[in-house]
Each structure stands twice: as structure tokens, then as C-alpha cells.
Amino acid sequence: MEKTQDRLACRYVETPIGPMTLVASAEALVEARFGGFPISHESPVLDQAERELREYFARQRRAFDVPLAPRGTPFQMRVWNEVRAIPYGQTRAYIDVARALGNEKACRAVGRANNRNPLPVFVPCHRVVGRDGSLVGYAGGLAAKQWLLHLEREA
């Protein structure tokens, strides 16, 4: 018999950086994908995630309270936790994140973990930039990354 908490609910949300599909278990948001197709399941977690996402884009929210449950390796989880600690409106270089994890040689591994971030915007990997401040990679595209950084700097 299938457990209720194993069921996932999805919701399509239009955002200023393009459509996103939010995916949640009964307890937490597990993914936020760019793109998708119109679908809307009933879910208190999705209600909260959508509301907080809209507040963020309206500059009424700087941090998310919705429970998050990304799935990844132990190293990816450490990277994502470190990325979540980057303050709103600020950026860190990949090497800064690697140093915070105790291994400055792990820059590329940090980049790979960021690339696999299942919760962009909620886990703000857009705040991680190249050592020289250049925009480097983003699942939603560099224009979306630039837009998000501008949104936070102008708040």
C-alpha cells in the first residue's frame, strides 16, 4: 500500500522569470523546476510555496519559510545549506562556498552541486557567481539569474 507522504503534488506558477513547476510531498517542497505545463494539485505546502514565491517576486519577502526537502548526495546537501546561508542581495563566488565547506579545491564540485539544485530561487544558487563576479550558469538561464540578482539589489 502506498504511503500518503510518498505522493507528490505539482503546481504550475507563472513568474517574472518564466513558468515554474513546484513539486511537494505532504511535508515539504522537494523541487522547483523551470518550465512545465499547467497543472494544479491541492496541497498546503504548494499553497505556502506559491504564496512565498509571489511575495519574493513582489519584494515583500527576503527568506522562505516553506519547509524544503531537496534530495541529493551528502555533499550536495552541504553545498545547498551553505548557499541558503548567503544573505539576500549578496553574492558569493564558488571558491567562497568551497572554502566555507573546508576545501577551496572543491570549486568545480560546488558548481556541479549548484547545477543540480532541485529548488532554484528557494535555495538561491543564483547568488553564486564566478570569482570575478561574472554570471556563471543557471538552470533558468543567465538572463533569469541577472534578473534575480537585480531584484535583490534593488530591494
Enzyme catalytic residues: 125
Buried b vs exposed e over 34-49: b needs ≥16 C-beta within 10 Å?
bebeeeeeebebbebb
User: Coil, helix or strand for 10?
Assistant: strand
CA 127, CA 87: separation in Å to the nearest integer?
9
Q: How many CA atoms lie within 13 A of 48 on its CB side?
A: 16
